[in-house]
């Protein structure tokens, strides 16, 4: 991977599609402040509360001292430079499908972002979930190189699969999980309880999401549903990101969702 040369402009697209700032910007950050990846947002789960770390380029508080290889190992394998497992609240189970070229481009874009000295805050997890060594077992159970949808026989469907299953990691929220927090791939994108305890995250399967492809693409651009409702919760940030991607990407996601078996 070190032999590849990154393109920051392409990396910005990967950054947007992957939603890096949506989780790692400081709480309530707006505008350009969202590019200061100081962390601090809190994410409730059945296992406790995860707190997004500082992943800015600050050399001590963030990841400014990392190499490209360190970054790639974290993103695709969920392993820190000192060999610790990251908790899968960091969606590396999805990012593991990213191409090496996209990781290199993303790292090149990262070099253009500011650093911030705010220290990362610890996660608030109860025993036994605070034992990181157990995450290695979780990876053996749930990490896979296989796509959830094996067949993508057109360039548009292949791009849609890459966006949904890898970069935008849609399955991390829209797929139900078992008792250990692994995604139930037999019910891929079938909807799930909201980790906050408020309501449910809807199914995206064709039998449940009956919108036309153009309506799905329009929703991803504007946040407005065919029923004149609007997106809420974390989906607001997702739509802000998708609205900045090419229209062909939104169309590709719509095509993928309508082609789900």
Burial (Cβ within 10 Å: 0-12, 13-18, ≥19) of residue 56: buried
- In contact, 111 and 117? CB cutoff 8 Å: no
Under the banding of pLDDT at 50, 70 and 90, the label for residue 55 is: very high
Asked whether residue 176 carries a pLDDT value surpassing 90, the answer given is: yes
Please tell me the distance from the alpha carbon of residue 29 to that of residue 31, in angstroms, as a whole number.
Answer: 7
- In contact, 43 and 195? CB cutoff 8 Å: yes
Residue 252's pLDDT is what?
98
Asked whether residue 111 carries a pLDDT value surpassing 70, the answer given is: yes
Q: In the chain, what percentage of residues exceed pLDDT 70?
A: 98
- Residues 184-193 have pLDDT tens digits of 999 999 999 9
Asked whether residue 51 carries a pLDDT value surpassing 90, the answer given is: yes
Q: In the chain, what percentage of residues exceed pLDDT 90?
A: 84
Asked whether residue 213 carries a pLDDT value surpassing 80, the answer given is: yes
Which one has a higher pLDDT value, 198 or 7? Answer: 7
When the pLDDT of each residue in the chain is averaged and rounded to a whole number, the result is: 94
**Residue 44, beta-bridge partner list:** 49
Which of 151, 147, 259 minimizes the C-alpha distance to 204? Answer: 259
Burial (Cβ within 10 Å: 0-12, 13-18, ≥19) of residue 23: buried
CATH 1.10.760 positions along the chain are 8-121
Under the banding of pLDDT at 50, 70 and 90, the label for residue 5 is: confident
Please tell me the distance from the alpha carbon of residue 259 to that of residue 164, in angstroms, as a whole number.
Answer: 13
Architecture of domain 8-121: Orthogonal Bundle (1.10)
Under the banding of pLDDT at 50, 70 and 90, the label for residue 4 is: confident
Please tell me the distance from the alpha carbon of residue 121 to that of residue 152, in angstroms, as a whole number.
Answer: 41
- In contact, 166 and 184? CB cutoff 8 Å: no
Residue 41's pLDDT is what?
95
């Amino acid at each position: 991977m070190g032999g590849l040369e990154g393109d920051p402009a392409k990396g910005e697209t990967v950054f947007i599609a992957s939603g890096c700032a949506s989780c790692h910007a400081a709480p309530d950050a707006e505008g350009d402040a969202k590019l200061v990846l100081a962390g601090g947002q809190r994410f409730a789960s059945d296992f406790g509360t995860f707190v997004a770390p500082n992943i800015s380029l600050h050399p001590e508080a963030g990841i400014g001292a990392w190499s490209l290889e360190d970054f790639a190992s974290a993103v695709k394998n969920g392993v820190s430079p000192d060999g610790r497992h990251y908790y899968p609240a960091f969606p590396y189970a999805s990012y593991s499908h990213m191409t090496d070229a996209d990781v290199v481009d993303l790292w090149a874009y990262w070099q253009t972002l500011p650093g911030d000295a705010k220290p990362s805050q610890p996660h608030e997890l109860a025993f036994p979930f605070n034992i990181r060594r157990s995450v290695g077992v979780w990876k053996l159970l749930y990490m896979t190189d296989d796509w959830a949808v094996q067949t993508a026989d057109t360039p548009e469907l292949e791009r849609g699969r890459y966006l949904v299953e890898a970069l935008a990691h849609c399955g991390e929220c829209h797929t139900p999980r078992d008792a250990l927090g692994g995604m139930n791939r037999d019910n891929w994108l079938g909807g799930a309880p909201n980790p906050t305890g408020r309501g449910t995250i809807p199914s995206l399967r064709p039998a449940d999401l009956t919108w036309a492809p153009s309506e799905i693409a329009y929703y991803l651009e504007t946040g407005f549903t065919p029923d004149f409702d609007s997106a809420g919760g974390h989906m607001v940030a997702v739509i802000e990101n998708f609205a900045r991607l090419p229209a062909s990407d939104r169309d590709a996601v719509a095509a993928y969702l309508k082609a789900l078996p």
